Structure 1
Amino acid sequence: MSRTRSALTSALAVNRRTVLAATGAAAVSAGVGYALRPTDSQAATTTGTAAQGAPVAQSRQAPAVPLAPYTRGTTVATVAAARTASGFRRLGDGPGWERVVRSELAAPKAGRAGRRTALAAFVQLTDLHLIDAQHPLRLEYLRSADVHAWRPQEALTVHGAIALVERINALRGAPVTGTPLHFAMTTGDNTDNNAKSELEWFLKVMSGGRVIANTGDPRQYEGVQNSGIKQYWQPGTTARDADKQRGFPHLDGFLAAAIRELNSPGLNLPWYSTVGNHDSMPLGCYASHGDSWLTEYAVGGKKLMSLPAAEAKKLQDAIKKAKDPRGVGFRDLLKAHARDMRSVTPDERRAPFTPREYVRAHLDPAYRGLGPVGHGYSTANLDAGTQYYSFRIAEDVIGISLDTTDAGGHYEGSVGTAQMKWLDKTLKDNKDSYAVVFSHHTSKSMDNTRPDPARPGERRHTGAEVVTLLGRHRGVLAWVNGHIHRNEITPHAVGNGRSFWEISTASHVDYPQLARVVELVDNKDGTISLFTTCVESSAPHRTDFADLSQTGLSALYRELSYNAPGGRTDLAGTTGDRNTELVLKKG
């Protein structure tokens, strides 16, 4: 049995670093256990004057007695797997994934399991992509050129997210060390289409509440799945659409069930939020805030549901190659197809939200849940127009949440000079702490250096530059991110004996629909280990087509994603990208 310690100081005590960090900043509001109400995180401002101290926000305090290691409810025990070989493949319980020790950055030393002490443990959720499946701006019609451009499971994203919350709530602690989980972090693309409806659903799923994943007509679904268009799965009819020809079932009542009221218990631990490109821009790629025509189209009563393959291919290529970052060509295409649109019920809730509205929504007391206030964001972010911040994870570990979206358009990312300077300063000011950095984009997907319209004179920096910056600080242990919808763990050896791990986790919209537990431990032998353990949602692996309950639909969400036409089969990554022990030298 490994020896573990509480990752925070004992009840009623406020750790020394937090008190020092609060000097000259906001006062710390301390509490005990679930009653802990952290103050605003240390957000960046345009001048930097409010970010002179170290982070002041804390995550949940841990009970004094650690839990025992366990595997139940994790992918170490079992993983959904196909139990039929062809057609529409049904899922069941499959063998778990082994834990792989990775030693590219340091050699693991014998006996470390008996010496180690826990530093912190948390859960990462990423790329939930909560989808308003009836939204007029959605690009389902790209399926005429790319079968994967629309997913048959898209009406069930909220069901799947709630089941993931239920799984996290049921975890007994960190699987390897047994230490309590201190917080959860969502690393962006929490919404799919930058719609206010999706943002409300996300905040209710995370903090708890009742959700109706439906916009437009409150009595019925209005979208591509009851359009009669055969390139989409039409679950409520016997029509031989393209997906039924692949074996997809006929399910009477599916659409009515999909828009019924749901209930989320909310996470039973504090949670933080990182912004992604789909949270920042319509369709995750268009810098079209302020385009009144597109805004009116988003909330209006017309929706384009089909497009010839040649035009769909041209639009998809323009998105992939960032030929139309402001969405001007997209707007012109919609205008040109006005006569081809179908009538839907208008709904103001489908309006796009701005970055400022995103931050303000997180600060709304209605969505506090177990905190912290703002879920990392603060009034300082509102004042400065920023979406990055830092917070204290444990007595000797800080967290840093970056904004890697490029407001100039396109789905790949970068960061501005002001944020790079703030990141460097935050790490310097906390040189005696370990650091975990969170972002949406990976280092390899940060190659979009288009200027930010709000800061046209500011240089943008790539992921490679961020890697170099992080490598200058000995306390950086990990960079945790998403965006690529694939499990991928990358070692970064950056010279002077300094190194860190980049941990990218698969999405929860595409199979295998995972989240990840990360544990930080000191091996007391000159090395640190980071344990990563993937978890699925609480939905049963086996589905029942007759079960259209909330639980039944969350199971179907997984099975539909497994069978999605054109879906990639490599998103789970290799064994070394899933359940791991990542070893590195102390800086």
Structure 2
Amino acid sequence: MSRTSGMSRRRFVAGAGAAGLGSVFLSGRAVARERALAESAARAVRVDGTTLQQAATAVGDGAYKRLTAGPGWPLVVREELRGAGSGRDGRRTGLASFVQFTDLHLTDTESPVRFEYLARLIDSAHRPQETLTVRGASSLVERVNAVRQGPYTGLPFRCVMATGDNTDNHERIELDWYLSVMSGGRIVPNSGDPGRYEGVQNSGSGLYWNPGSSVPDAYKAKGLPEIPGLLGGAVRPFDAPGLSVPWYTTVGNHDDSIEGSLPDLGLLNDLYTGSLKVEGCDDATAAQLADALLHDPGQAAVLLGKLLAGGGAVRTVTPDERRHPFTPTEFARAHLDAKYTGAGPVGHGFGQDSVDSGQLYYTFDLADGVLGISLDTTNRAGFADGSLGTAQLNWLESVLKDNSGHWYDADGHVVRGGSDGRLVVVFSHHTSATMGNLLPDPYRPFEGRHGGAELVTLLQRFPNVVAWVNGHTHTNQIVPHGHSVPERAFWEINTASHVDYPHHARIIEIADNQDGTLSLFTTLIESAAPYRTDFADVSDPGLAALYRELAYNDPYATPATRIGTSADHNTELLLTAPAG
């Protein structure tokens, strides 16, 4: 929809309401929403393909909800850190435009090292839609390639940044799928036996959704349908288009540890690539293992060993060496492989120094005059939450000083820098509230660890830091930092995952309003998949559509909380422009 055509439709609806016809066709609330959408579109260059235009909406009275194209979400102006000046749209100059992917969780669902039998206790252990993660991610790539530019600045996307949990269980085959989705190429989303699916969803166990059979299970009891062709379609090869813009990678805990929780000390490698897969256990053991995954990784490994020794339902699957977990060095090296260069850049943020050191943090040019900093907030001691090591924190402070015109020391005194300064956007997987894991890194046991509050304090010393963009929580949430000192304020932008509903990515634009303020525009986008599903349609678009709808209907998930509020969706975030 073009800016002009979008306005004509919305003005007609709003005008009809004002003339008295709206009471027939629309409620007063709907008229207000249409008016807000029209105003949002009027301020934009274009809204096509974004949630400013339309967004998935659940319909139906049954247990299983279908999705359809619903009304878009209007722009919300947030002034907690700085008031909005009038006339800024006419003066606005775009500085940067990019897209954030996060928490793709491309999943080898047939892997022996998974804990699907804990889904009723830990919702992320098994998802009914998880065989379709690779197709869903590729459909998101299609959306970015179609939208191409920021809706408010009109600037072409400079890049896509994926802020971690790109893989689900840090397996080499999952990493290959991720790199192929981003760069393009032929993908076979299957492991083990190349001719069939060997995961829990054809096990016949009532714990799982068995889409290809009429066997009763816990998911069908919640309304999930039979879709006989789903699993065959899920493992069918397809050609991923790849991004048409450069892309970068940030590492997340699922790219670093077993199921994002257990430290990878090499003890379970044989299990990864072996033939034994646990598919069930008694309730007491499940409760103990779920608690151990959250609080005692060592005990979790012991319990898993007991299950394999005969304490649970164990299935024989086809071994696959490609399931071997990757190390940080291998993660960086894979990004440098020429077959994954795609739209570039070579290495996607990682260089030979990343391979040599295993250190997965770096800087890159986000736009002219805008620096991107990608952090590694994972902790190889295990557990889902993160922190920073001392060496990385010191490196970050040094980078900020080198790219700032001035900053504040720890006592609040201004220090003049040696450069004119650049705006800075920081990327990480974890949020400020999920960086409390201060356990020593087993690979650097004598190095200190630093949490989210300490990182916020450091970033507030540098007025040119405008945003911290992250994921991990699978929830849309935007948090202001620095209410009391506007010059030292920045926005923390957290975006929901693309494995759990609502399956969002986010366009972020930076604009100079030429009045001493900056605007950060954040616009959510959904994949290119059609909203309407057809259980008989197992084409690539049909599977991508099912991916979204099944995620909404996951009986153990909480989509209503993850979607966030209107103030976490499409926003204009005001803040003071750094001086000098």
8 A contact 1:523–1:529 mirrored in 2: yes
Change (3 A) 1:473 1:382: same
Partner of 2:448: 459
Aligned pairs for 1:12-411 (under 5 A) are 69-146=45-122, 149-291=125-267, 294-321=268-295, 323-324=296-297, 328-337=301-310, 340-411=313-384
> 1:358 & 1:333 partners in 2: Cα distance?
31
Aligned length, in residue pairs:
519
Question: C-alpha distance in 2, partners of 1:487/1:521?
Answer: 22
> Secondary structure of 1:337's match?
helix
User: Once the 2 structures are TM-superposed, how far is the Cα of residue 247 of structure 1 from its aligned partner?
Assistant: 1.6
**Contact preservation (8 Å) 2:429, 2:472:** yes
Q: Partner of 1:579 in structure 2?
A: 570
Is 1:418 aligned with 2:394?
A: no
CA distance 1:257–1:116, shift in 2 (3 Å): same
User: Matches of 1:122 and 1:367 in 2, distance apart?
Assistant: 20
Q: Which amino acid aligns with 1:346?
A: P
On the 8 A contact 2:330/2:355 being kept in 1, the answer is no
How far, CA to CA, are the matches of 1:206 and 1:288 in structure 2? 26
Alignment of 1:547-586 (within 5 A): 547-568=537-558, 569-586=560-577
The 1-side partners of 2:492 and 2:264 are apart by 32
Shift of 1:424: 0.5
Whether the 8 Å CA contact 2:523–2:571 is kept in 1: the answer is: yes
Task: Give the superposition deviation at 1:495.
Answer: 5.4
**Counterpart-to-counterpart distance in 1, 2:490 and 2:148:** 28
- Preserved CA contact (<8 Å) 1:401 1:439: yes
Q: Is the 8 A contact 2:80 2:483 kept in 1?
A: no
- The alignment partner of 2:279 has SS state of coil
Q: Give the distance between the partners of 1:334 and 1:194, measured in 2 at CA.
A: 22
The 5 Å alignment of 1:437-586 reads 437-493=426-482, 496=485, 497-568=487-558, 569-586=560-577
Contact 1:304 1:337 in 2 (8 A): no
The alpha-carbon deviation at position 566 of structure 1 amounts to 2.0
**Secondary structure, counterpart of 1:268 in structure 2:** coil
The sequence identity of aligned pairs, in percent, is 53
Q: Distance in 2 between matches of 1:148 and 1:302?
A: 21
1:210–1:261 Cα contact (<8 Å) kept? yes
Does structure 1 retain, via aligned residues, the 8 Å contact 2:275–2:318? yes
Query: Residues of 1 paired with 2:201 and 2:152: CA distance?
Result: 43
Contact residue 129 and residue 550 of structure 2 kept, 8 A: yes
* 2:9 alignment counterpart: none
Task: Kindly report the root-mean-square deviation, in angstroms, between the aligned alpha carbons of the 2 structures.
Answer: 1.6
Q: Is the CA contact (8 Å cut-off) linking 1:144 and 1:312 kept in structure 2?
A: no
Distance 2:342 2:223 in 1: 41
- Contact 1:194–1:353, Cα closer than 8 Å, also in 2: yes
Aligned-residue offset at 1:334: 3.7
CA deviations on 1:14-59 (whole Å, 9 max, x unpaired) are xxxxxxxxxxxxxxxxxxxxxxxxxxxxxxxxxxxxxxxxxxxxxx
- Structure 1 residues 458, 113: CA separation in 2 closer, same or farther (over 3 Å shift)? same
Give the SS at the match of 1:220.
Answer: coil
TM-score by length of 1: 0.86
Match of 2:347, SS state, is helix
- Structure 2: how far apart are the matches of 1:142 and 1:264? 32
Contact 2:114 2:125 in 1 (8 A): no
* 2: CA distance, partners of 1:326 / 1:161: 34
How much does 1:330 deviate? 4.5
Per-residue CA distance 1:451-498 (angstroms, 9 max, x = gap): 111211110000000000000011000000000000000000075431
CA separation in 2, counterparts of 1:481 and 1:326?
A: 30
Tell me the CA shift for residue 329 of structure 1: 2.7
Cα 1:147–1:185 change in 2 (3 A) is closer
Q: 1:310 to 1:339 in 2, by over 3 A?
A: closer
| Structure 1 stretches of 4+ moved >6 Å | none
The structure with the greater share of residues assigned to helix is 2
Q: Deviations over 1:68-119 (max 9, x none)?
A: 7111110011111112122211111111111100000000000111111011
Once residues 334 and 242 of structure 1 are traced to their aligned partners in structure 2, the CA distance between those partners, rounded to angstroms, is: 22
8 Å contact kept, 1:127–1:485: yes
Deviation of residue 320 (structure 1)?
A: 1.8
**Do the aligned partners of 2:278 and 2:308 also contact (CA within 8 Å) in 1?**
no
Distance 1:108 1:454 in 2: 48
Given residue 390 of structure 2, which amino acid in structure 1 is its aligned partner?
T
Distance (Å, rounded) in 2 between the aligned partners of 1:339 and 1:439: 38
Distance (Å, rounded) in 1 between the aligned partners of 2:109 and 2:251: 21
Q: Which amino acid aligns with 2:386?
A: G
Aligned residue identity for 1:488: Q
Which deviations, in whole Å up to 9, do the C-alpha atoms of 1:129-148 show, x marking residues without a partner?
00001111111010354566
- Mapped contact 1:439–1:480 kept (Cα < 8 A): yes
* Cα separation, partners in 2 of 1:555 and 1:578, compared to 1, 3 Å: same
Letter in 2 for 1:458: E
Give the direction of change, closer, same or farther, for the CA distance of 1:490–1:183 in structure 2 (3 Å limit): same
